[in-house]
Structure formats: C-alpha cells, structure tokens
Structure 1
Amino acid sequence: MNRKRPGTGPLTVTVFVFPGVRLLDVTGPIEVFASANEFGGHYQVQIASEDGAEVVTSAGTRLSADLSLSEVREPSDVLVVPGGPEWETLIKDEALLDVVRQLNEKARCTASVCTGAFLLAAAGLLNGRRAATHWRHSRQLALRFPSVQVEPDAIFVRDGKMMTSAGVSAGIDLSLALVEEHYGAEVARAVAKDMVVFMQRPGGQSQFSVHSRAPHTRQEMLRRILDAVAENPGANHTLTAMARTAGVSVRHVTRLFCEEVGTTPARYVEQVRLEAAQVLLETGDDAMPVVARRTGFGSPESLRRAFVRRLGVTPGAFRASFRTTGVSTNDAVSEAISA
C-alpha cells in the first residue's frame, strides 16, 4: 500500500551536515531512504551544508554537499539533523543554530539522530516537547534543557513535527518509521530485510546502558553501602543489612538514597544486579539458575521478570542478541531474515 500523497512528486529529504558531524548519523538515514526507492518509495535525498562546501566528519571522511542553506528554497518533507561528538561546542555556535532554525521552518518534519537532539534543543525547537537522545547523554539533555521532556529509554520519539532518536544506528530505526508512514509497512519491511536490520528492534536503550557508574556522593556511610552492593551484587542487601553496614537507622538509609541517589534502595540494588547479570550473560556460558544465584535474583523467574520489566527483553533474548554477531549461525540468521 502506498500512503504517499496522491498527485505529488518525490518526497524531499534534506540532510544537514556540518564540520565534525558523525558519519553514520548521516549515512544511516540516507541508506534507508535510498533503499526504499528500490521497493516502491520515491525519495529525493539532498545534503546541505551552511555554505554548500564539503565538510569533514568526526571520522575524518569528507562529505560533499549538494547545496547551501540559501539554495534550500522548497519545503523539505523531512529534515535530518545529525549529531557529533563535539556537541557541547556545537550548541554554542549561534550561526549553526540559526541554520537549524531556518531549515526547520522549511521542513514538514524535522528529525534528529543521536546528539542532534542537542542542536534542536539549543535552537529552541524542543521546548515543551518529548525527546530522545543517546542513553549516555540523556541526563545532560534533561539538565541543560529542562523544558524538554527527555525519554531516556526510547529508541525514537515523535512529538508533533519533531522526531528525535537515540544513538547513531537509531537513526535507521527512525528513518524506517518514516518510510512506513509515507509508503506503508510492506515497503519498510522490505527495506529492513534488505539492510538486515530490525524493522522494530526489541527493547529500549536500557539494554545498552550497562556498566553505569555508581552515583557520586559525599556521604561516607552511603558510599560504604554503594561499594558493598557493587562489589558483591549477589550478597544480602536488604534495607536492614544496608543500615547495619552503614551503622545508621533504616529510615536514615532510605532518606539518603532518596536525596543522593534519586531512587529507593531496593530499586538501586535491582539495577546493579541487573547490570551484573547482563555482564555474565554477555561474557559467560553459565546456565540461567547460576546467573540468577550469582547476581542475587535467586531464581531464573525473578531474573526474567526483572529483565522484562526494566529492559523489555528476556535474559535469553539478551544473551542471543548481544553475545555474538551471529557469524557462526548463518543458516539460522538467513532463515529468520527471509521469513
């Protein structure tokens, strides 16, 4: 089914590039739209830089631009704003932000990839809106731009004409969603199979954000508790045991966690245990009962419930998805893709 507006020409996708842009943030979406053209889509993709000159990406690769800002006269159906590792510098570049604002005015839909969300936020385009970015930077986005409602676990978010996506490859997920919106699920599915990617990947960003750092705190008693949990997640870490470790009351421990960590003791312990389980599943061959016991969950069922609730995938699916690229199981992968 073709959902493109009848009687119109190709849908124009303008990808904005700038010095230091991340290469895959640019090429991932372009590949999706170009591939869609092979399966019934009709996209015209153009790369625009501020002055029409080529740019050097963060990887050192040179990218040529098709046109400059002044040459973007017709409205774009989709504007793609990629990110870059030097986003802290980019959001202070008023000239660059002004280009983003001008391009957004001429776009029916504006979509960012990874830290491109910081450019949109700094340009004032995400005020009062929901947004996503790479899990590693979601806290910074929320702190720097409190008017933006950050959804840290989302792969991509749409709020009105604005779309924002998580890190790097999530730009492919976002672009596939746009292809489905424009030309239907069959075309998007064909593109996903052609690129050998999920049409809709299982789970959210939480499954990627393992090894999170322990919270910083000046409270020595709380530091002792946090260290004890990190050093041995499978030990007894009930509220009573924590209070005993710190030499304070249960009530005081609860208050410290609320003020210093921003969560309850039980939720913090579960998060640390979950990360420990992820490491074991990624790197070892232990059976699920062993993983559950070593990480303090007790039983495989408790482990499974925690994974599904916090990450959106089962422990088995996590192990299968993140332990290997599948190079040794080509037959199974080929069958799954062609199904």
Structure 2
Amino acid sequence: MHTVAILVLDDVVPFDLAAPFQLFSWARLPDGHRPYRVRLCAERPEVRTEGFGLRIDRGLDGLADADTVVVPGCDHSGPPSDAAVAALREAARAGTRIASVCTGAFVLAEAGLLDGLRATTHWMATDELARRFPAVKVEPDVLYVDNGSVLTSAGAAAGLDMCLHMIRGDLGSAVAAHCARMSVVPLEREGGQAQFIVHENPPVPRGSVLEPVLEWIEDNLAGEVTVAAMAERAGMSERTFGRRFREQTGTTPLQWLLRARVRRAQYLLENSDHTVERIARQAGFGSPTAFRERFRRVVGTTPYAYRSAFQGRTVSQASSVTVG
C-alpha cells in the first residue's frame, strides 16, 4: 500500500489540507481495495489554524516511511521550523515523492528542494516566490508542475488537478477518473492559472498627466487607438509620451492598450451572451482571429473555454439545477 503523508504546519489552509486527504482516500482499485494509506503528520500534536484547532496523531517521523509527502499551503509567510525542513530533506534524500499545494511551495523552497527546478504557486504569490528564491524557475501561469519526484501546484483547486495527475500516474486513468467523479471535477482542465488572474493595468498616480489619456483609452477601446493619438491628447511628442508613459506605468502604451482590451473582453465574456466576433469588435481587436490569438496568449485559454468556466448562471437558472 502506498503511504501518503500530509505535513500539517501551523496556520495550514484547511482546504489545502482536506483536498489531498479526501482525494487519495477516495481512490479504489478495481477489486475495491484502497491503494493509498493517508496520514496527517505534524511537529506537535496541536496545530492552530484560522477558526479552529487540529489534533494530529503522527509526528514528523511519519514522513520517514512515506511514499508521497504533500505540503499544504499556510496563511503565514514565516519560514517553517528547522525540524520540518530537516524532515522534508531527509524524505527527499530517501527518494520520497514530495508535492506542495498552493503556498506550500515556499516550504519546499525553504528546504532547497526546488533549486534549479520549475515550480508554481498561487498566482498572487508567484512574484514573491521568485524574489525570495531566485534559484527556483517560477512558472506563474500553470496549474501544476511535475518534475518527477517533486511537484508543485497553484491555488487550492489546482491541488486537486495535481493529485489527480499523481493518482493517474500511479494507478491509471480509470482510478483517477473515479476520484474526479467523487470530487465533481474534471479529470483534466483546459488552460492554466493565467485565466484566473485579473489582468488589470497598474494604477497611475492621481493627478498624473497620463490619467485623462488613460481614461480616454478606456472609453475608446472599440475604436482605432494609436500611440500618435494618445500622445496628441497628452500634448507631447510620441517619443516624450512613450518615455513618460513607461516611467509612470512600467509598460508601453501599446501593451497597456492590449491589456485593457483583453480585460474588456474578459468582462464581456463573463457578463454577456454576445458572440466572440462581436466581443472582438467591442474590445477593439481587428479580427476574431487576432482576438483569439491575443486572448490565448495572455489568458492561457480560448475565449469559448473562458466563457464556459467563468460565465455565471442567473438565479433562475441556478435554482433549476438538481443533483442525482
């Protein structure tokens, strides 16, 4: 039997802990037997988390004979204890497969287990992971990264994707599909983490000479907006405008415009039933093809897939959904 040990640290995110525990526990072989033994391990019996406390029966020694160790995310940014780091390093030296959910990647990075490897974490923390651990090759727009013996996943739901991936690798698609059905999630999701990021442009200081120009851009996204027209409205030459724009926003006028158009398209996909062709026009893209290419490049999925994932049902539609 394959032993999965979940390392429970103080301020653990409950969902990050419960998701892998439940998913591995749901796995069944064709003969009905459980292929995984799942245990919770902690440095101390009492573990605090927001809203309630946890009592954990196994200590860090429970990692020593595990086949897989999963590290859930935590709500604090402080480093893990020396004892927890040492236990993870020892498990890695023994060849144990080690995986993290969400900000659990910071714990793996503290232990040096991600040095020189590709890794990911929640999109809100990818910049911080890259800053604090420059030896880690941070992938900000994926759901999970599999390096073989070390895996990392993005936010909590991406932890489900990663665990299903591991189960499928261990036991095949049929067992993984059963776990996916039990969780009421797809076995595979299209797109990466980028589709969940709000692609807003950075704010400019209040009272900036660029503020009225940026408001004009937002009001005219569907039209032909050129850098020359932006500079003219700002009362500057194109060269001066481009330099001032980068100084105050950290990006170019064209990149700002494209990001604003993608964000407008996201809003329309979420909140309207307009066709992709109409949304392409409303967001200012020259053609549906150009729109689809730019949208996939920025968001990581197609407009159709994005709409399917993020367009909310009305109250009347939601009330008609039944289970059974």
Normalising by structure 2, report the TM-score. Answer: 0.84
1:42 alignment partner in structure 2: 35
1:62 alignment partner in structure 2: 53
SS of 1:37 mapped into structure 2: coil
Question: Which of 295, 302, 305 is the matching residue for 1:314?
Answer: 302
Asked if 2 retains the 8 angstrom alpha-carbon contact of 1:132 and 1:152, the reply is yes
CA distance in 2, matches of 1:38, 1:57: 34
Matches within 5 A, 1:219-258: 220=208, 225-226=213-214, 228-230=216-218, 232-254=220-242
CA distance in 2, matches of 1:257, 1:63: 51
Cα distance change of structure 1 residues 200 and 288 upon mapping to structure 2, 3 Å threshold: same
Cα distance change of structure 1 residues 181 and 160 upon mapping to structure 2, 3 Å threshold: closer
Asked if 1 retains the 8 angstrom alpha-carbon contact of 2:120 and 2:153, the reply is yes
Cα distance change of structure 1 residues 245 and 172 upon mapping to structure 2, 3 Å threshold: same
CA distance in 2, matches of 1:256, 1:77: 56
Asked if 1 retains the 8 angstrom alpha-carbon contact of 2:3 and 2:36, the reply is yes
Question: Which of 131, 145, 153 is the matching residue for 1:143?
Answer: 131
Per-residue deviation, 1:122: 2.3
Over aligned residue pairs, what C-alpha RMSD do you find?
Answer: 3.1
- The letter for the 1-side match of 2:311 is R
1:3 alignment partner in structure 2: none
Question: Which of 53, 67, 71 is the matching residue for 1:77?
Answer: 67
Per-residue deviation, 1:176: 0.5
Asked if 2 retains the 8 angstrom alpha-carbon contact of 1:156 and 1:166, the reply is yes
Cα distance change of structure 1 residues 227 and 329 upon mapping to structure 2, 3 Å threshold: same
Question: Which of 14, 17, 21 is the matching residue for 1:30?
Answer: 21
CA distance in 1, matches of 2:160, 2:271: 27
Asked if 2 retains the 8 angstrom alpha-carbon contact of 1:131 and 1:149, the reply is yes
Asked if 2 retains the 8 angstrom alpha-carbon contact of 1:133 and 1:152, the reply is yes
Cα distance change of structure 1 residues 73 and 272 upon mapping to structure 2, 3 Å threshold: same
- The letter for the 2-side match of 1:81 is V
Cα distance change of structure 1 residues 106 and 149 upon mapping to structure 2, 3 Å threshold: same
Per-residue deviation, 1:262: 5.7
Normalising by structure 1, report the TM-score. Answer: 0.81
CA distance in 2, matches of 1:94, 1:213: 40
SS of 2:156 mapped into structure 1: coil
Per-residue CA shift, 1:251-280, capped at 9, x if unaligned?
455556667656554333222211121122
Per-residue deviation, 1:131: 0.6
CA distance in 2, matches of 1:110, 1:36: 19
Asked if 1 retains the 8 angstrom alpha-carbon contact of 2:200 and 2:259, the reply is no
Per-residue deviation, 1:319: 1.8
Aligned residues: 319
Per-residue deviation, 1:247: 3.7
Asked if 1 retains the 8 angstrom alpha-carbon contact of 2:85 and 2:111, the reply is yes
Matches within 5 A, 1:65-214: 65-74=56-65, 76-86=66-76, 88-89=77-78, 91=79, 93-94=81-82, 96-106=84-94, 108-214=96-202
Taking only the aligned residue pairs, the percentage that are identical comes to 39
Per-residue deviation, 1:42: 0.5
CA distance in 2, matches of 1:193, 1:34: 14
Per-residue deviation, 1:223: 5.6
Per-residue deviation, 1:95: 5.0
Per-residue deviation, 1:33: 0.8
Unaligned runs of at least 5 residues, structure 1: 1-9, 335-339
- The letter for the 2-side match of 1:57 is T
Asked if 2 retains the 8 angstrom alpha-carbon contact of 1:100 and 1:119, the reply is no
Matches within 5 A, 1:288-327: 288-324=276-312, 327=318
CA distance in 2, matches of 1:73, 1:116: 19
Q: Which range is displaced more, 272-281 or 38-47?
A: 38-47
Per-residue deviation, 1:105: 3.9
Per-residue deviation, 1:17: 0.5
CA distance in 2, matches of 1:151, 1:173: 16
